[in-house]
Amino acid sequence: MDRISMKTPLVEMDGDEMTRILWQMIKDELLTPYIDLKTEYYDLGLRYRNETDDRVTVDSANATKKYGVAVKCATITPNAARVEEYDLKKMWKSPNGTIRSILNGTVFRTPIIVKGIVPCVRNWKEPITIARHAYGDIYSNSEMKIDEKGKAELIFTDADGNERRSLIHEFDENGGVIQGIHNVTPSIESFARSCFNYALDQKKDLWFGAKDTISKSYDHHFKDIFNEIFEKEYKNKFEESGIEYFYSLIDDIVARVMKSKGGMIWACKNYDGDVMSDMISSAFGSLAMMTSVLVSPSGVYEYEAAHGTVQRHYYKHLKGEETSTNSVATIFAWTGALKKRGELDDIPELIKFAKKLEQSTIQTIESGYMTKDLAMITEMDEIVTLSSLDFIKAVRKTLETYI
């Protein structure tokens, strides 16, 4: 059989631990037998990041800007224990943080749904995608604990030294707490554009909620920016695609999401996204079934699994023990990237192949063949629990029936 040719290279970001092992298995079993894979390879494994003083992460992000599509393996974000384990020159920053700040993008997380693994919320029939604004608010705050009588004020000083003041609270001797937070207009605008673009890309409705009735300047600014950009740049395109942009108060949005059948993209302010993405992934079943894509406002895409490097399984693997690590989200990172590359380069066979690989993965699970994490939560009766490699081989067997 002729392998599918590619035109533009895909930016390939390799990673760490168990997911690095899965990465190679996926390439060997599910990709290179069928595609003449053209990638520009960057090794984001912690050893090589350390060797290059993390230059490789920056280079991979710049390559993504240049080519437009990347696929990324999970990577270690070093902490003190990792500095010792890998004898690091320093505690390098999170690669995802570095890539996100270079691409200025928004992360969209979507669960992969299979029959037999039923969401806790029984009316959710379609995946709910969470878009989290990953800049500012309480994540870059300034806080104080007050334990005496006094006045707290918000003060803004302009370039000429003029001050604007607003009273926060007059504390009595019992004290309390205060917090200052901020966001910047360009970041909110980028967030809005990434969300509108991704909604068009996915042909899904976009919902956004904030608390503008209470927060009349802060949250209202978010609401206004979304509205203005939508009216000026996206309204017609949304109408043509038959999708909707819907704004409401955050509590109303939460209530509606719970009663919905799913299927929307839910844009969240930073804190809401932090909280709601964990709720959505646990309600849909497993972190191992969550895909993640970073979308820049200019339309650059970086696909990955939402989970980490699965360290505990890796240590078992190193001891020569068999692992049963779920590769589904990593497989879908590859298919997402291949579909996007196929779309941009007009290679219909590549898109078709990626879709078949997704179907084969789902069908394999729905026929009862799965890894241990899913075996523990499925409602199916007759199941076969497979090792990491045997699951990938089972997907290949299903894929062969399509090709």
Nearer to ligand NAP, 202 or 388 (CB): 388
Q: How many CB atoms lie within 10 A of CB 124?
A: 22
From 74-82, 249-257, 345-353, 360-368, span contacting ligand NAP (CB under 6 A): 74-82
Q: Which does 75 bind (CB under 5 to 8 A by kind): ligand NAP, Mg ion, none?
A: ligand NAP
User: Smallest gap, in angstroms, from Cβ of residue 292 to Mg ion?
Assistant: 13
Rg (CA), the chain: 23
Query: Would you say 41 and 9 are in contact if contact means Cβ atoms under 8 Å apart?
Result: no
Structure tokens at 79: 């902490």
Beta bridge partners of 304: 72, 292
Which residues does 315 contact at the CB level (< 8 Å), separation at least 6? none
Q: State yes or no: residue 267 binds ligand NAP (CB under 6 A).
A: no
User: Smallest gap, in angstroms, from Cβ of residue 91 to ligand NAP?
Assistant: 12
Q: State yes or no: residue 309 binds ligand NAP (CB under 6 A).
A: yes
Q: State yes or no: residue 278 binds Mg ion (CB under 5 A).
A: yes
Among 11, 76, 131, 338, binds ligand NAP (CB under 6 A): 76
Tell me the per-residue interface mask from 10 to 39 with ligand NAP, x by CB under 6 A, - otherwise: ------------------------------
61 vs 13: CA distance, rounded Å: 9
Q: State yes or no: residue 193 binds ligand NAP (CB under 6 A).
A: no
Q: State yes or no: residue 308 binds Mg ion (CB under 5 A).
A: no
Nearer to ligand NAP, 260 or 286 (CB): 286
Report angle CA 333, 337, 342 to the nearest 5 degrees. 150
219 vs 208: CA distance, rounded Å: 11
Using CA atoms of 283, 288, 290, 293 in order, give the dihedral in degrees to the nearest 10. 150
User: Smallest gap, in angstroms, from Cβ of residue 323 to ligand NAP?
Assistant: 9
Q: State yes or no: residue 271 binds Mg ion (CB under 5 A).
A: no
Q: State yes or no: residue 287 binds ligand NAP (CB under 6 A).
A: yes
Tell me the per-residue interface mask from 95 to 124 with ligand NAP, x by CB under 6 A, - otherwise: -x----------------------------
Q: State yes or no: residue 274 binds Mg ion (CB under 5 A).
A: yes
34 vs 256: CA distance, rounded Å: 43
Among 133, 269, 307, 396, binds ligand NAP (CB under 6 A): 307
End-to-end Cα distance, the chain: 9
Nearer to ligand NAP, 20 or 339 (CB): 20
User: Smallest gap, in angstroms, from Cβ of residue 254 to Mg ion?
Assistant: 16
Among 14, 43, 219, 373, binds ligand NAP (CB under 6 A): 373
Query: Would you say 276 and 138 are in contact if contact means Cβ atoms under 8 Å apart?
Result: no
58 vs 49: CA distance, rounded Å: 10
From 70-78, 100-108, 165-173, 175-183, span contacting ligand NAP (CB under 6 A): 70-78
DSSP assignment letter at 137: G
Nearer to ligand NAP, 70 or 74 (CB): 74
Q: State yes or no: residue 325 binds ligand NAP (CB under 6 A).
A: yes
Which residues does 244 contact at the CB level (< 8 Å), separation at least 6? 205, 206, 238
Half-sphere exposure of residue 289: CA atoms within 13 angstroms, side-chain side: 28
Q: State yes or no: residue 241 binds ligand NAP (CB under 6 A).
A: no
- How would you classify residue 256: left for phi > 0, otherwise alpha for psi between -120 and 50, otherwise beta? alpha
From 59-67, 196-204, 243-251, 303-311, span contacting ligand NAP (CB under 6 A): 303-311
Report angle CA 272, 261, 295 to the nearest 5 degrees. 50
Question: Of how many residues is the chain composed?
Answer: 403
Single-letter amino acid code for the residue at 254: V
SS3 302: strand
Q: Which does 274 bind (CB under 5 to 8 A by kind): Mg ion, ligand NAP, none?
A: Mg ion
Nearer to Mg ion, 130 or 331 (CB): 130
User: Smallest gap, in angstroms, from Cβ of residue 154 to ligand NAP?
Assistant: 35
Query: Would you say 58 and 98 are in contact if contact means Cβ atoms under 8 Å apart?
Result: yes
Q: State yes or no: residue 49 binds ligand NAP (CB under 6 A).
A: no
Nearer to ligand NAP, 193 or 307 (CB): 307
Q: State yes or no: residue 189 binds Mg ion (CB under 5 A).
A: no
Which residues does 318 contact at the CB level (< 8 Å), separation at least 6? none
Chain residues that interact with ligand NAP, rule: CB under 6 A: 74-77, 96, 287-288, 304, 307-312, 325-326, 373
